[in-house]
Amino acid sequence: QVQLQESGPGLVKPSQTLSLTCTVSGGSISSGIYYWSWIRQPAGKGLEWIGRLFTSGSTNYNPSLKRRVTMSVDSSRNQFSLKLSSVTAADTAVYYCARGDYGEYYFDYWGQGTLVTVSS
C-alpha cells in the first residue's frame, strides 16, 4: 500500500521560501508510471493544484504560481519536494502531496496534508 507523508516547517515568514518534502513509502518513486503533485487548500476553501513532477525531472506548474514554484525529486530517498518563494499570507494553507498515474488524469493517493502558516 502506497503512503505519502508531507514534512516541513509549519511557519514561514513573509517574503521567505516555503519548503516541503513528501516521502513515499510502499513503492518506488522512480517506477516511471507515476507522477507526483502538490495541491493546497486554504482553510475553509477549495483545492488548488500547484504542480506535478515526473521522475525524469520534467515538471509542469500552475500558471498562476509558475514564477514562484520549483519541484524536484530525490529518488535515492524516495522523496520529492516543493519550494514556493516570496510567500505572503495568501499562501497559508494545508499542503498535500499526491500521486497520479501516468496517462490518467486523477490523483489516487494523497498524503495527510501539512499546515503551513505564513506569518511574521
Q: What CA–CA distance (Å, rounded) separates 11 from 114?
A: 11
Long-range CB pairs of 100-107, under 8 A, 24+ apart, other chains included? 100/34, 100/35, 100/36, 100/37, 100/52, 101/33, 101/34, 102/32, 102/33, 102/34, 102/35, 102/54, 107/37, 107/39
Q: What does DSSP assign to residue 45?
A: S
**Residue from the set 43, 63, 67, 88 that interacts with another protein by CB under 8 A:** 63
From the list 16-24, 39-47, 67-75, 85-93, the region that binds another protein by CB under 8 A is 39-47
- Does the protein bind another protein through residue 10 (CB under 8 A)? no
**Residue from the set 62, 70, 78, 85 that interacts with another protein by CB under 8 A:** 62
Site map (CB under 8 A) of another protein, residues 71-90, x = contact: --------------------
At 113, the amino acid letter reads G
- Does the protein bind another protein through residue 46 (CB under 8 A)? yes
Which of residues 91 and 111 has its CB atom nearest to another protein in the complex?
111
**Residue from the set 19, 49, 65, 68 that interacts with another protein by CB under 8 A:** 49
Q: What CA–CA distance (Å, rounded) separates 102 from 104?
A: 5
Rounded least distance, CB 57 to another protein, Å: 16
- Does the protein bind another protein through residue 47 (CB under 8 A)? yes
